[in-house]
Structure 1
Amino acid sequence: MADKAVSVASKPVMRNLLHSNIKKNIIIALSLAGFCGFTFKQVVGNERKRKYAEFYRTYDAEKEFEEMRKKGLFQSC
């Protein structure tokens, strides 16, 4: 009964261990970088694009020029 309880431990994999770990880590790093890039674009980029579009839709350059001229910011006008 004691013979059946004892098992032989398998040898650890030492050949190409660094190569397999590096490959696994590169795959994880690239997928996380892609996910973070896509998330940043969706959260920050699209919101920034929307705000710029709203600003230029309602921007009046002539009104802005007249306000700056009244404040005396231009020497030639």
Structure 2
Amino acid sequence: MASGALAKPQLRGLLARRLRFHVVGAFIVTGGVACAYKFGVAEQRKKAYADFCRNYDSMKDFEEMRRAGIFQSTK
């Protein structure tokens, strides 16, 4: 039975090395999530708002609400 001594673990600089690895990973993940949100949510929302504003007719909407009886002061 061979019993060899285990090598001592390298502890000097361990926190700095692990922190550097995790900070770089966190920046990569954060950048990916930010890009996904921008192109998946924000751009689609801006496009929907632009389409709504381009096709919106305020007078037509007002007349529909007036006929529905929403306004008290107009007949």
TM range (shorter): 0.7 to 0.9
Note the residue ranges of structure 1 that are not aligned, 5 or more in a row: 1-7
Note the residue ranges of structure 2 that are not aligned, 5 or more in a row: none
SS of structure 1 residue aligned to 2:72:
coil
Higher relative contact order (CA 8 A, sep 6+): 2
Structure 1 position 9, deviation (Å): 6.5
What is the number of residues matched between the two proteins?
70
Deviation string, structure 1 residues 12-61 (Cα, Å, up to 9, x no partner): 21012122111211110111101110121011111111111111100000
What TM-score comes out, normalization by structure 1 length? 0.80
* Structure 2 counterpart of 1:4: none
Runs of 4+ in 1 over 4 A off after TM superposition: none
